[in-house]
Structure 1
Amino acid sequence: MSTEPRRTRSGGRASRQSIRSIRDITMLPGLTRKIPLCEVMDGAQIEMIDNASMDILENVGVQFRDPIALEDWKKAGAKVVGEMVYLDRGLVRDLIATIPSDFTYHARNPENNVRLGGPHSVFVPMTGAPFLRDLDDVRRNPTLEDLAMFHKLSHMSPALHSSAHHIVEPYDHPISQRHLRITYSSMKYSDKMFMGMTTSPKNAEDVMEMCAILYGEEFLDDHPVTTGNCNGNSPLVWDETMLGAMRAFCKRNQPVLCSPFVLGGANTPASVPATVAQLNAEALSALAYTQVIRRGCPAIYGHYLASVSMKSGAPMAGTPEISLMNFMIGQMARYYGVPWRTSNTLGGAKTFDAQAGYESATTLSAVMHAGANYIWHSAGWNEAGMHCSVAKFIVDAEQCAMAYRMAEGPRWDDFDQAIAAVSDVGPGGHYLGHPHTLEKFQSAFFMPELFDNNSIEQWSADGEKEITQRALETARAMLSEYQEPKLDEACDEALLDYIARREIEIPAADELNQSY
């Protein structure tokens, strides 16, 4: 989280502290990476993965459990036997060649538009947590109010470029109607871009209708404004729910993440290169289908990566193999010329402890050097995604700001001034009072707000607060300062009218009485 001031002033310690106390929530522009990529495969190995993936598509096949998709593939010239689709590599290459290599997301606030693809990256919070650790660090079931809280924190975190969608599951609302309230919350409490629910084809269509209300039908047709996620069932299965949602998004020219769900060693071979080859085949089959639906619509090479403990079968985060696979997948996506998605600060720890920090930092570093574009699950993820932690959310968001600064590369704009200061100060002096230092003290080095770098005496005098407590206090302060970016009144009324009508049409059943 950046709290750099809106203006630069010189002066003493008191004035500097006063400046630093101003919270600047202005969203950082989409990241343009300027650091080298980590590429662990040579050209021959990239071609080895590509060839293995194409062999899988041609000879093993992919199961499309959806009659509409099967008919679409037949019309596109694929070999279809029952639910099995066998894709010729020439057909696959022809289709994925029409996916845009980069595009611009349009936010409700145009100042928050961001570019995606190539060197352009965005950070997106986690989604899908069935529990949260709240402002008191208590693990419990979330509500719509909790979801709104996370959308507000997303809005106020400069390095987060999206409010996502169901960061946590709002259990106080019926499952069948939940997607409506989740989408509205994403739209209402932040004017950044957001994600759209793909929990069913009809739910995806509802999201598209709400986007048309917010942006206008014509604007929606040629401007990406939201993102859907379609998970494959590894190994080599795409189901009717995901494919129907994919069609709803692609027909309206909205991008989807084509995301095989990889548990390395469980639903893929116990081998990093072979896992990547299978994942690559699965992703290519879905990417190609987006272009069968609508040629030229934006799409994103996706995945969810976890390796599995051979002791317990549990998914693991922050392991070396996950980093290696991210490096390799980045190379494959660039080989095909398509943007790609990864998962970011994942933790398997049950609390916001050292394990959570190490796991998250390891993955964050790898993701930045892998050159990922859509960097999802960038804030809050812990307990293998079972809960979103408010404390971790705040610290993760600041970690993304630090990673953003690193990925920008060195700044050379004041090099001559800084070198001149060496002559001014000379041997044995110090730079603290030099004009260049006073001008640059805020921006020369990233100063984390949530890490305590004081002496132990000062730390003790301040109450011996550990990072969880500091993060929760910061979250409370942010929420007390939050100002809602108001929706246009007519648009807000139209959205609420649509939700009210759909909630009448969609049965709520007895879901509110279910025990979770």
Structure 2
Amino acid sequence: MAAGGRRTGGRREKLAQRSAPPANPCPPGQIGGRYAPLSAPEIEAIYQTALRLLSELGMGEVPERLARDLIAAGAVVRGDGRLSFPASLVEDAIARAAKTFVLHGRNPERSIEVGGERVHFGTGGAAVQTLDIETGRYRPSTLRDLHDFTRLQDTLANVSWFTRCCVATDVPDVFALDVNTAYALIRHTTKPVATAFTLAGHVDPIVDMLDIAAGGQGMFARRPFLKAHISPVISPMRFGEDAVDVVYACIAHNIPLSCITAAQSGATAPATLAGFLAQSLAETLASLVMVHAIRPGHPMVFSNWPLVIDLRTGSFAGGGGEISVLNAASAQISNWLGLPSGVAASMTDAKAIDAQYGAEKGLTALAAALAGGNLIYESAGMTASLLGVSFEGFVLDDEMNGNIYRILRGIEVNDDTLGFEAICATVRGEGHFLGAAQTYAAMERDYLYPSLADRDPPITWHENGAPDIWGVARNRARSILAEHHPAYLSRDQDRAIRGMFDILAP
């Protein structure tokens, strides 16, 4: 040591530490649940109302096959033809439901566990328009877009799974659409993936494709890396036959389900927030009872997605305080029931990457995460009230999600972090904390550093051309798309799939 107790050694190590990329101090899977918009008595009141709806009103338009299975499980046919679910049946379904399960990635290191208190951001959506990265204008989404979005998100650490985010409007045949959508997912990512099946008859052949990717016949069902997004309940309080048929086909192949209720306030559900939550909960519980009647304990994400419409115009409103608190409350109720929760966020109404975009994304995503939503859908790239999707939005939302994980991680309080000795040593020594060992340790452990958000002083920002975040994100997305061309199917696998299906991949 030099005079005065200053360290002279270790400069090389410090410089190397500064230049090294910082580790991620807050990876996906942080603990949520600190935000509780509902009190315990309020949750109980909503739950009891949902049970009354299922028992006294029941479900309508129940397909014959499902009706037989539900009656065998304990449902009762009412005089008006609707099917009543006694509270004992609903509670049995809750008790026997899968409380946690693994969403497998084809790369096991990318698998995630669903349920408990852990929060994961992922994607969703069926956008029919893409915000063109070159022109900045919307155009119909294409199959090429889907391939490019899949490649792009494959690089994003804070997107835990990928659901197809857009519909290839240039593939009009519904079977070809389902096949080519699934192909894009398995070709360009090894994360857990999800898609929708238009018809039940599409499930078997697509599973043949997934078996090829998994390594042989029957291998996919042993470790399913794709889940199905299905809406078997149509609000208010009735089943949809085609979607129910898809449920049966998926369960036969051990495909995990995301049974999504997507009622809209004032249209297909009450405008009052409490009434909305009661009906939406009843409908999602009806999906759970359906799965229970077919195969008790089959993996199902309890996807109760409250959606809001602007009552002045009737248009869907993806951003705002109401949809934020409703999805947070939905996550809270699902977690109170002990069920793996799925909610939606980041469904901004903004068309451009602007202040409205950032505000609506931030408040909806943060509310859902703080409330403990296990899987938060729509959380990357979606714009224009789910009608649009953006490449720049994907990279921006990934950074936002990382910051939300940092908020969830909270503050660790212990002798080391309180730093009594370090404070005393600094006050008696150099008088600042720059360069201290504790500072370097905290730099890597406690801080998340943005790669897109600008923290430069104004003069530096001007000298750099006064860039805006849309342009910065556009350049990042362009760079990824130019450089990242994964092909996670071997030549033999790809040849086998192309021999069975009409693959239209660009």
TM-score, normalized by the shorter chain, greater than 0.5 = yes
Unpaired runs of 5+ in structure 1? 1-8, 504-516
In the TM superposition, 1:23-422 aligns within 5 A as: 30-33=28-31, 35-80=32-77, 84-136=82-134, 137-165=136-164, 167-176=165-174, 177-215=176-214, 216-231=216-231, 232-411=233-412, 415=416, 418-422=419-423
| Residue-by-residue CA offset, 1:229-284 (whole Å, 9 max, x unaligned) | 22232111221121111112222222212221121111111211111000011000
1:457 to 456, 459, 462: 459
Cα shift at 1:182:
0.9
Aligned-residue sequence identity (percent) comes to 24
Contact 2:151 2:481 in 1 (8 A): yes
- SS of the residue 1:97 aligns to: helix
Q: Distance in 2 between matches of 1:158 and 1:29?
A: 8
Structure 2 CA distance for partners of 1:217 and 1:75, relative to 1, 3 Å:
farther
Letter in 2 for 1:358: A
Structure 2 CA distance for partners of 1:365 and 1:27, relative to 1, 3 Å:
closer
Q: Distance in 2 between matches of 1:75 and 1:27?
A: 51
Letter in 2 for 1:435: A
Structure 2 CA distance for partners of 1:29 and 1:67, relative to 1, 3 Å:
farther
Q: Distance in 2 between matches of 1:115 and 1:337?
A: 14
Q: Distance in 1 between matches of 2:451 and 2:52?
A: 51
Q: Distance in 2 between matches of 1:316 and 1:214?
A: 39
Contact 1:70 1:83 in 2 (8 A): no
Normalised to the residue count of structure 2, the TM-score between the two structures is 0.89
Structure 2 CA distance for partners of 1:37 and 1:197, relative to 1, 3 Å:
same
Cα shift at 1:367:
0.5
Q: Distance in 1 between matches of 2:468 and 2:321?
A: 28
> Bigger shift: 417-426 or 430-439?
417-426
| Residue-by-residue CA offset, 1:374-410 (whole Å, 9 max, x unaligned) | 1111101111001001122211111111112222233
Q: Distance in 1 between matches of 2:483 and 2:419?
A: 37
Cα shift at 1:497:
2.6
Q: Distance in 2 between matches of 1:300 and 1:475?
A: 31
- SS of the residue 2:60 aligns to: strand
- SS of the residue 1:94 aligns to: helix
Structure 2 CA distance for partners of 1:224 and 1:98, relative to 1, 3 Å:
farther
Q: Distance in 1 between matches of 2:54 and 2:241?
A: 19
Structure 2 CA distance for partners of 1:338 and 1:224, relative to 1, 3 Å:
farther
Letter in 1 for 2:323: I
| Residue-by-residue CA offset, 1:3-35 (whole Å, 9 max, x unaligned) | xxxxxx8445xx678534x9x9x99865041x5
- Match for residue 475 of structure 1? 477
Structure 2 CA distance for partners of 1:420 and 1:218, relative to 1, 3 Å:
farther
Letter in 1 for 2:411: P
Letter in 2 for 1:31: G
Structure 2 CA distance for partners of 1:244 and 1:29, relative to 1, 3 Å:
farther
> Bigger shift: 253-262 or 396-405?
253-262
Letter in 2 for 1:40: P
- SS of the residue 1:156 aligns to: coil
Cα shift at 1:328:
2.5
- SS of the residue 2:296 aligns to: coil
Contact 1:196 1:204 in 2 (8 A): no
- SS of the residue 1:302 aligns to: strand
Structure 2 CA distance for partners of 1:444 and 1:296, relative to 1, 3 Å:
closer
| Residue-by-residue CA offset, 1:63-121 (whole Å, 9 max, x unaligned) | 23523222322333322358622111111211232211001121111111111101123
Unpaired runs of 5+ in structure 2? 1-11
Structure 2 CA distance for partners of 1:486 and 1:47, relative to 1, 3 Å:
closer
Cα shift at 1:126:
3.2
| Residue-by-residue CA offset, 1:127-169 (whole Å, 9 max, x unaligned) | 211001122223112222211111111110001111222x122
Letter in 2 for 1:118: G
Q: Distance in 1 between matches of 2:310 and 2:27?
A: 38
Structure 2 CA distance for partners of 1:27 and 1:405, relative to 1, 3 Å:
closer
- Match for residue 500 of structure 2? 498
Q: Distance in 2 between matches of 1:217 and 1:293?
A: 24
Q: Distance in 1 between matches of 2:42 and 2:344?
A: 24
Q: Distance in 2 between matches of 1:425 and 1:29?
A: 32
RMSD: 2.6
Cα shift at 1:330:
2.2
Q: Distance in 1 between matches of 2:110 and 2:413?
A: 26
Q: Distance in 1 between matches of 2:28 and 2:131?
A: 29
Q: Distance in 1 between matches of 2:72 and 2:325?
A: 38
- SS of the residue 1:284 aligns to: helix
Contact 2:349 2:383 in 1 (8 A): yes
Contact 1:118 1:373 in 2 (8 A): yes
Contact 2:25 2:447 in 1 (8 A): no
Structure 2 CA distance for partners of 1:44 and 1:434, relative to 1, 3 Å:
closer
Cα shift at 1:342:
0.6
Q: Distance in 2 between matches of 1:252 and 1:358?
A: 41
Structure 2 CA distance for partners of 1:417 and 1:76, relative to 1, 3 Å:
closer
Normalised to the residue count of structure 1, the TM-score between the two structures is 0.87
Contact 1:183 1:197 in 2 (8 A): no
Q: Distance in 1 between matches of 2:283 and 2:275?
A: 12
Contact 1:417 1:436 in 2 (8 A): no
- SS of the residue 2:447 aligns to: coil
Contact 1:196 1:207 in 2 (8 A): no
